[in-house]
Structure 1
């Protein structure tokens, strides 16, 4: 069976690359007139720790999303309009990650931290929903999937994406009161997705 999703995958790879590139735009070097010596440079760098934290979290979030996207499309062989629009929703949300990242970098260490973290965790709730939607649409018709894929494998992939959703919702909910804990949950979810991506196997199960 010939794979029909090559153009979708190539376009998606380009969008993921752009989304990661946009993150670096929030990293700023100090003005040369504002820093006179090494001590002042170190002080500036220390003051930017929230920017580095936000960049690191978002970089690896998008990278892991790309890994999962790559592996899920190893299972999808054909496409229809619904799959293309569901994938488009994922790409749209991925490109918006840079904005809540910028807000997190600027406001995490202040009184607006709860709103900044809520926006940051909220975007990942929507991204998780979009991945669930893509797999739901694709798996409704096995003719769209890799030849020989089993019902057990389809359920395993579905459950893998569903497990993350309630955790993202919890992180979003508590971010209004406990932003640090919510952000810590987001970091743990990165580890979960990194590990669980290995469950989406190419081999027939």
Structure 2
């Protein structure tokens, strides 16, 4: 079966690249009164730790999104209109990440950290729902998928993404009480997905074991 998704994948790669590049705009050179004073410069750099934290978390999250999106489309061979719009929703949400990243960088070390982290984690609830929607549309019509993929494999991939809904929702609720813990919870999930993304690398065998 010939793949029909090349243009979708190419466009998606470009959007992910732009989204991940936008994050660096939040890293600014410190404005110091004395350029020759090493202590002032060092203190200014250390004071920007929330910006470095926000950049690192968001870069990692978008990269994991791209990896999983890429591997998901290794299993999707055909397209239809609902699938294209679901993919567009993922791309829209990916480009939105730069805004809560900026909020996190600016307000994480202030009393408003709970609001900034709630917006940040709340966005990832929507992103996870969008990924589940995309795979749900693709797997509901097996004609859209790679011919060799098994029903068991489809279910295992679905379960892998469904873990994110309760975890991201828990992080969102936790952000109002412990912002740092909410970010740790998200980072833990993204790390899990990084190690389990190989579940989408299915062999040609219909009985391929995803483990």
TM-score, normalised on structure 1?
Answer: 0.97
The Cα shift of 1:202 comes to: 2.8
Instruction: Give the direction of change, closer, same or farther, for the CA distance of 1:174–1:32 in structure 2 (3 Å limit).
Output: closer
Q: Supply the RMSD in Å over aligned alpha carbons.
A: 1.0
The Cα shift of 1:31 comes to: 2.9
Secondary structure, in 3 states, of the residue corresponding to 1:172? Answer: helix
Which residues of structure 1 form unaligned runs of 5+?
none
Match of 2:175 in 1: 175
Aligned residue runs from structure 1 range 34-183, under 5 A: 35-183=35-183
Q: Name the CA distance, whole Å, in 2 between partners of 1:35 and 1:160.
A: 51
TM-score, normalised on structure 2?
Answer: 0.95
Once the two structures are superposed, what CA deviation does each residue of 1:151-185 show, in whole Å capped at 9, x if it has no partner? 00100100000011101000001111111111111
Does residue 12 of structure 2 align to residue 20 of structure 1?
no
| Structure 1 moving runs of 4+ over 6 Å | none
Q: Name the CA distance, whole Å, in 2 between partners of 1:146 and 1:140.
A: 13
Q: Name the CA distance, whole Å, in 2 between partners of 1:121 and 1:36.
A: 40
Tell me if the contact between 2:124 and 2:168 (Cα under 8 Å) persists in the aligned partners.
yes
Secondary structure, in 3 states, of the residue corresponding to 1:195? Answer: helix
Q: Name the CA distance, whole Å, in 2 between partners of 1:35 and 1:12.
A: 42
Q: Name the CA distance, whole Å, in 1 between partners of 2:33 and 2:96.
A: 33
Instruction: Give the direction of change, closer, same or farther, for the CA distance of 1:3–1:19 in structure 2 (3 Å limit).
Output: same
**Total equivalences in the alignment:** 205
